[in-house]
Structure 1
Amino acid sequence: MKFTDGYWQLRPGVTVLRPGAVESVEPDERSFTVFAPIGKITGRGDTLNRPVVTVRFFSPAPGVVGVTVGHHSGGLPKQPRFALAEDGGHPVQVEVTGLSARLTTGELTVRVALTGPWRVDFLRGDRLVTSSTERSIGVVTDAEGGKYVHDRLALGVGETIYGLGERFGAYVKNGQTVDIWNADGGTASEQAYKNVPFYLSSAGYGVFVDHPEHVSFEVGSEVVSQTQFSVPGQSLTYHVIDGPTPKDVLRRYTALTGRPARVPAWSYGLWLSTSFTTSYDEKTVTEFIDGMAERDLPLSVFHFDCFWMRQFHWVDFIWDPATFPDPEGMLRRLHERGLKVCVWINPYIAQRSYLFEEGRQAGYLVRNPDGSIWQWDKWQAGMALVDFTNPDAARWFADKLKVLLDMGVDCFKTDFGERIPTDVVWHNGADPQRMHNYYSHLYNKTVFELLETERGQGEAVVFARSATAGGQQFPVHWGGDCESTFVAMAESLRGGLSLAASGFGYWSHDIGGFEGTPDPAVFKRWIAFGLLSSHSRLHGSGSYRVPWAYDDEAVEVLRRFTRLKLSLMPYLAAAADEAHREGIPVMRPMVVEFPDDPTAAYLDRQYMLGPDLLVAPVMSADGEVTYYVPAGTWTNLMTGAQITGPGWVSEKHGFDTVPVLARPGSVIPFGSVTDRPDYPWADGVQLRLYAPASGQRTRVRIPSPDGGPGTEFEVHYQDGTATAELVAGVSSGYGCEVTEVAK
């Protein structure tokens, strides 16, 4: 939100209180609080009618400095709050002298000047990271009497900002206004399904604004040299998270807000959907599955979208008897074919659903202030909303899903969760503004924890659309409703890169796009992008996404890239394990992997898949693609061609190839199975070296599909010969080869 009119003036009707010189400091062992009246205090008379801005500095976790800016503190505490894994026992050093007050945690220090104008510096050692200066903090009253608090942190020369959730506009956020407010706006607008009040800076730090409600970010867009963040009310809390690398920031941020869970091995395979509004029954489903098998197309998951239930009854979790008279038998038959089954759900209860009256009587549905049930007619007539702040309602909802699990369903697509009303009353008295974004967290948490309980740790997976900070704990998330065009393909990738920079470890999207029907060129190009993502799903709106509906070549392209992905499972599983253990995403923005390469800062049409594979999706019908290669000799996994960077490369690709390049010196483990993702990844693995350096020794760890300790190899390259040694775990056989050697 913008409060100023240019540099000197405020907008009409706006007043702002800003801290002046520090009047006093109150330290304790792990924090200190600064009291800064507005204006100068030259005598006792100046303390009369003089507001004071109170700022507390603390450390919730190692390498993280928390800041709370407050004015009046008499307000009632509001819920919900983000659940943070705070560490109260880590070393914190507090020092107050005549010139400054300091708090140090790890390598990060916050220093508040006690003389002169207001100034707060965040330092790594002696190096300035960012700062809040005399015009940065504001306690605002707008023209309508609304109250807000903001702070601004300095942007350095050339500093770039990323993240703030899954955003489909410009990947670098500098110059943008970003509102953290979940919305169902598709991928072609500034709205986002997954809003996260966290940004990642190329200067080696991150900022997390600890507010579930509406947060407004002005990233160099109100004051071009600063990033401003504001919240309604009388208090603002944010955390500055140390690096120095982007990976370090993400490790600390996800340690605080939650790491992504492990997902089952089968979920990495290809998912096929009935699509959104298409007509289908078991015969249609069987024809799709038979068609995939007849064409030798590996399939892992079949997804039933919303009309597995009766129209006007979403959600009642009852199979439409007219189209699925024998759901248990159908699910059994799908399992016999080696498939897992996903079904679509949402948190709304249509008035015709038998659950509506059941939920109303029990008090499980969100209510209006007068006690009536909140309802609307979007999507289905008379829809109400499950109140997940009521533990009994959450259990009730989960129990209905458990019936489906007992029937044979394996996982759920947790759709919707963004259009949450703010004029309602919640069971636990939660603030409606805070619940708007946070609702998605409770919704996905309820479903994911049920799956963990019923299927076991590491076997739970959802396909979620909405999220906020901490939602990365409940994977997988997909990119929402995009058009079936190359432009939408590019905007989807920007959304995925922004989400990855926001701490989310896994991400997917609708291959071919959702709205409309893609032409064959779009569909085939999107296949490569989709299969070189952490999770891969064929899904659309009003048309089927089976490849033979496009042309014969689409079948060949799907087979080629599905088998490539399945052969890469040992590598992808290791990247996923890193996401789970450290919070480093599987699909990574180039700047995360190459923070010291200035060109990487702006790359939004390519990404790193894990640490060692560069992927540049082809987004043109004629196959023309231009992408950037960092320093060293890179090798195309599909063609064997070598490219030496740094530099830009322009190529032309057929539908059967794409730039997917192995990093210089990398060892990529290829699995021995190409028809399913859930196989013993270390058995018969082929360890391929790409442009290694003589004398190079590389440790390669391959996780176990069942979550066990995994297998580890040491690969040694010397004078043109590569050898591998099994140093931990078991493998029924393995090979080692040098694919290309740099000249």
Structure 2
Amino acid sequence: MPPKSDLAHVTQLVTLNFITAKLTRADFACDDTELQLQVEAHAPGVYRLRCAAAESLQSDKPSARSRAHAEMLLARQEAVGELAVSSIAEPAQLGWRLEQGDIALEIVRSPLEIALYRGDECLLRTQPGAALACKQGAGDGAVAWRFSAELDGDDALHGLGESGGEQDRRGGFLVSDAPAARALPLVWSPKGWGLYVNSLQRVEHDLGRENPDLYQALVHDPVFDLFIFAGEPAEILNQYTALTGRAGQPGLWPMGVWLDQAPGQSIDDTLRLVQEFRANQWGLDVVRLAAPAVYGFQADKPAFEWAPARVSDTRDLFARLQALNVQLAAPSFPGVLCGTHMFAEWEDRGWLLIDDDGNAHVFPGDDVSGGQDFGLLDLTNKDVYKLWSERQRQLVDEGLGSPSCDAQFDIPDGITARGGESGPALRTIYPLLARQALFDAVAGHKTPQEGVICSTDLFPAVQRFAWQTGPQAGNDWAALQQTLRAALSLADSGVPVQTHCLGSARHPVGGMTPELYIRWLAMSVFSGNFSFQGIPALLPGAFDSATRELVQHWLQWRYRLIPYVLGIIEDAVRTGLPVQRSMALAFPSDPVAQVWDTQYMLGPALLVAPALQPGSHIQVYLPKGDAWWDLNTGWRYEGGTTWTVEAGLDTLPVFGREGHMLCLGPTAQHTGDFNSARILDEVWMFGMPEHSPVVMRNKIRVMQMQGSSYIKGLEGLRILPAEGLEVKRRGAEVRISRAR
């Protein structure tokens, strides 16, 4: 991890002077400097603070490259809020109040201080007299900014990327462009504030490591650009994703079960495993091939070819896959192998990333390149980007379901792209461009855009791509907890889906007991999605008949849940809310719930408490403010209570939130079994329905009138009402009322 930068010599912004105010923006000058501060009402409850030299902020004609960089980060460039500016004339606090309804940003003139309010409640306050500091390097001209905000003693910090530990990141330190940090740019508190540093350059997040009472961001960028959010965490994610972009649709088949090919396994052996799944009625939809890349550029032509040692006849392969009703995901990488004609030709053209001497940089071989050294395509070059994306699309047209590509390379500082990007900016941009090029290939020609790209890469705006591949953490109970925590931390960062790996082919498998296997599978079923690992010891056939029957039981549940889970992802396109939601995200006003940080909400209706250690007794906390219905017993529990639930391996503590419904599909072996005209089979009600359900292609609507609920869209579905309710069908309408 890069060392923290030396800011011994800084210009502290101490005093502001008002310049002017417009409908959406107020401008201030910083005394004794050439800097200006702009405060913008970017959206209701969202403020944008930009500070830099006046000429940088007032430029009306940014370059094409600057516009491209801005679009990589922000889906919405223009402000849509309105600002009411008034003066604060208190003797001890001269300054300005910038209001958006009941949300206000107060700026103290001297010493500079910024505070965020909702009504009379202060949500966030900067360090008095040390809100913002600037350092300009004497020789290299580099600019860095330090922003400091005070933390209350019980302020938890969520977001900022992947964590295999606690969701509260307080006390940590992250560097945005260090691949090992797994960092993302949004941080928020359950108390109602959030921060997003809008930069492609390095950002160092000190979450209380240096001073436990401060959050500090060190931003290495000529322009300081910070968005401040006010609201509940769900509203912060809504505004953040509306600002930075939301996910496209994954489609139906990716929601089915996946099988990851074992390293070194032949495709014939993998297809025999698929046949075993089919013979045992274990649901399966997708095979994902293992590294190395199964296709890539020919040695002497800019065209893709399949690796003949692995795929001798592509038509035969896709015919066999189609006969088995499975889709194919395959590894790729944005590079060309060293020692080939294409490497030499593209080095001459300037189509590869170059070093200080102008030569193509050679990256050491890895698993995907088959151990061969390679050069990376310069995806900042439009011609290169277009070529790579078009070649990928040709394979998609042949039958490839999804490319799989990890492109978060640790690119050395001296490496440069054609557009001049290097260092932290290039490390940030590169995986973003790779994922976008692949998504264009898979979904760009569809309306609406639909498709998934398998990748573990994290970068700003990663939430625009619905599918995130989870870690292969290991094969013990600690690894199960790690993969769950990683998913919940990414969900807190705005990523809609992280899929789980059921165990790891990269770790010793001795700790994978039948009990752990089934508990891991059950948790994965109630998630965005998951994949089996193709090594024999981690497949259902390695276990006894009782365990295999439990596998079949849980896979049937998975396919019944698909309409609900896909509906949650479709909802993420509109709201930015993820599939698996942490207690802090779902229940910010219940501090007790936040302590139970391995429970989660699966969408709006289901609370899931997975078993994370051996035994059949599982403790569950039911958040206050709602009543909860046990899916296994039908019993109703009041919120704000803790229970010990006995759950055998065929059950999982899952509770329905009162007022919601769960819509289930039919039992299936793969998504090809789904009847698109009748995707639903059954509806479970948790108390009196008050909310329209989240479900794929939702046409079900709930209305309340005179103490009853009237529901349209339940034709032909079995209805399981909660205890104490009665159901009356009236043509196309269903009336739910309390039993007399």
Amino acid at match of 1:122: L
Give the match for residue 278 of structure 1. Answer: 264
Alpha-carbon distance, 1:30 to partner? 2.9
List gaps (5 residues or longer) in structure 1.
Answer: 5-10, 38-49, 186-190, 705-709
Give the match for residue 377 of structure 2. Answer: 386
1:69 aligns with 2:24: no
Give the match for residue 484 of structure 1. Answer: 475
Amino acid at match of 2:607: L
Relative to structure 1, the CA distance from residue 738 to residue 126 in structure 2 (aligned partners, 3 Å threshold; closer, same or farther) is: same
- Greater Cα shift, 647-656 or 398-407: 647-656
User: What is the percent sequence identity of the aligned residues?
Assistant: 21
Give the match for residue 500 of structure 1. Answer: 491
Amino acid at match of 2:164: F
Relative to structure 1, the CA distance from residue 723 to residue 596 in structure 2 (aligned partners, 3 Å threshold; closer, same or farther) is: closer
Relative to structure 1, the CA distance from residue 199 to residue 612 in structure 2 (aligned partners, 3 Å threshold; closer, same or farther) is: same
Relative to structure 1, the CA distance from residue 229 to residue 681 in structure 2 (aligned partners, 3 Å threshold; closer, same or farther) is: farther
Contact conserved, 1:572 with 1:610, CA < 8 A, in 2? yes
CA deviations 1:405-439 (Å, max 9, x no partner) are: 23211111222324233321111222432121221
What is the alpha-carbon distance in structure 1 between the residues aligned to residue 380 and residue 137 of structure 2?
32
Relative to structure 1, the CA distance from residue 741 to residue 468 in structure 2 (aligned partners, 3 Å threshold; closer, same or farther) is: farther
Relative to structure 1, the CA distance from residue 655 to residue 418 in structure 2 (aligned partners, 3 Å threshold; closer, same or farther) is: farther
Amino acid at match of 2:718: G
Q: 1:326 aligns with which of 303, 306, 313?
A: 313
Give the match for residue 668 of structure 2. Answer: 674
Q: 1:108 aligns with which of 94, 103, 117?
A: 103
Contact conserved, 2:605 with 2:660, CA < 8 A, in 1? yes
What is the alpha-carbon distance in structure 1 between the residues aligned to residue 632 and residue 253 of structure 2?
24
1:257 aligns with 2:244: yes
1:432 aligns with 2:423: yes
Alpha-carbon distance, 1:611 to partner? 0.6
With normalisation by structure 2, the TM-score equals 0.86
Relative to structure 1, the CA distance from residue 638 to residue 305 in structure 2 (aligned partners, 3 Å threshold; closer, same or farther) is: farther
SS of the aligned residue for 1:32 comes to strand
Relative to structure 1, the CA distance from residue 346 to residue 509 in structure 2 (aligned partners, 3 Å threshold; closer, same or farther) is: farther
1:579 aligns with 2:572: yes
- Greater Cα shift, 567-576 or 256-265: 567-576
Relative to structure 1, the CA distance from residue 439 to residue 737 in structure 2 (aligned partners, 3 Å threshold; closer, same or farther) is: same
Contact conserved, 1:724 with 1:736, CA < 8 A, in 2? no
Contact conserved, 1:587 with 1:607, CA < 8 A, in 2? yes
Contact conserved, 1:61 with 1:87, CA < 8 A, in 2? no
Alpha-carbon distance, 1:111 to partner? 1.8
Alpha-carbon distance, 1:486 to partner? 1.8
Alpha-carbon distance, 1:454 to partner? 4.4
With normalisation by structure 1, the TM-score equals 0.86
Alpha-carbon distance, 1:121 to partner? 1.6
What is the alpha-carbon distance in structure 1 between the residues aligned to residue 220 and residue 124 of structure 2?
24
Relative to structure 1, the CA distance from residue 53 to residue 87 in structure 2 (aligned partners, 3 Å threshold; closer, same or farther) is: closer
Give the match for residue 201 of structure 2. Answer: 213
Give the match for residue 40 of structure 1. Answer: none
CA deviations 1:378-421 (Å, max 9, x no partner) are: 40322211211111111111122123223211111222324233
Give the match for residue 356 of structure 1. Answer: 343
Q: 1:655 aligns with which of 639, 645, 649?
A: 649
Contact conserved, 1:273 with 1:302, CA < 8 A, in 2? yes
Give the match for residue 219 of structure 2. Answer: 231
Give the match for residue 734 of structure 2. Answer: none
Contact conserved, 1:701 with 1:711, CA < 8 A, in 2? no
Contact conserved, 1:683 with 1:733, CA < 8 A, in 2? no
Amino acid at match of 1:699: S
1:168 aligns with 2:153: no
SS of the aligned residue for 1:70 comes to strand
Alpha-carbon distance, 1:260 to partner? 1.2
Give the match for residue 730 of structure 2. Answer: none
Give the match for residue 277 of structure 2. Answer: 292
Contact conserved, 2:248 with 2:573, CA < 8 A, in 1? yes
Amino acid at match of 2:654: V
1:622 aligns with 2:615: yes
What is the alpha-carbon distance in structure 2 between the residues aligned to residue 357 and residue 153 of structure 1?
51
Alpha-carbon distance, 1:163 to partner? 0.3
Q: 1:522 aligns with which of 516, 524, 533?
A: 516
Alpha-carbon distance, 1:698 to partner? 4.1
Amino acid at match of 2:284: L
What is the alpha-carbon distance in structure 2 between the residues aligned to residue 144 and residue 651 of structure 1?
65
1:85 aligns with 2:76: yes
1:511 aligns with 2:502: yes
SS of the aligned residue for 1:648 comes to strand
Contact conserved, 2:364 with 2:372, CA < 8 A, in 1? yes
Relative to structure 1, the CA distance from residue 638 to residue 718 in structure 2 (aligned partners, 3 Å threshold; closer, same or farther) is: farther
Amino acid at match of 1:167: S
Alpha-carbon distance, 1:168 to partner? 2.2
Alpha-carbon distance, 1:660 to partner? 1.8
Alpha-carbon distance, 1:534 to partner? 0.9
- Greater Cα shift, 468-477 or 138-147: 138-147
SS of the aligned residue for 2:531 comes to strand
Contact conserved, 2:145 with 2:218, CA < 8 A, in 1? yes
What is the alpha-carbon distance in structure 2 between the residues aligned to residue 67 and residue 605 of structure 1?
35
Alpha-carbon distance, 1:609 to partner? 0.4
Relative to structure 1, the CA distance from residue 718 to residue 278 in structure 2 (aligned partners, 3 Å threshold; closer, same or farther) is: farther
Contact conserved, 1:313 with 1:350, CA < 8 A, in 2? no
Give the match for residue 290 of structure 2. Answer: 305
The RMSD of aligned alpha carbons is 3.3
Contact conserved, 1:270 with 1:300, CA < 8 A, in 2? yes
What is the alpha-carbon distance in structure 2 between the residues aligned to residue 323 and residue 117 of structure 1?
67
What is the alpha-carbon distance in structure 1 between the residues aligned to residue 362 and residue 3 of structure 2?
35
Give the match for residue 551 of structure 2. Answer: 558
Give the match for residue 729 of structure 2. Answer: none
Contact conserved, 1:62 with 1:105, CA < 8 A, in 2? yes
Alpha-carbon distance, 1:443 to partner? 0.8
CA deviations 1:213-254 (Å, max 9, x no partner) are: 2211112333322211111244321010121x1111111111
Contact conserved, 1:306 with 1:344, CA < 8 A, in 2? yes
1:460 aligns with 2:456: no
SS of the aligned residue for 2:424 comes to helix
Give the match for residue 184 of structure 2. Answer: 196
Relative to structure 1, the CA distance from residue 447 to residue 355 in structure 2 (aligned partners, 3 Å threshold; closer, same or farther) is: farther
Relative to structure 1, the CA distance from residue 12 to residue 97 in structure 2 (aligned partners, 3 Å threshold; closer, same or farther) is: closer
Relative to structure 1, the CA distance from residue 89 to residue 416 in structure 2 (aligned partners, 3 Å threshold; closer, same or farther) is: closer
Amino acid at match of 1:429: G
Contact conserved, 1:484 with 1:515, CA < 8 A, in 2? no
CA deviations 1:588-617 (Å, max 9, x no partner) are: 111222121111233321211001111122
Give the match for residue 547 of structure 1. Answer: 540
Give the match for residue 149 of structure 1. Answer: 145
What is the alpha-carbon distance in structure 1 between the residues aligned to residue 229 and residue 521 of structure 2?
37
1:738 aligns with 2:740: no
CA deviations 1:553-578 (Å, max 9, x no partner) are: 44323322221121123322321221
Give the match for residue 42 of structure 2. Answer: 60
SS of the aligned residue for 2:497 comes to coil
Relative to structure 1, the CA distance from residue 316 to residue 646 in structure 2 (aligned partners, 3 Å threshold; closer, same or farther) is: farther
Contact conserved, 1:302 with 1:340, CA < 8 A, in 2? yes
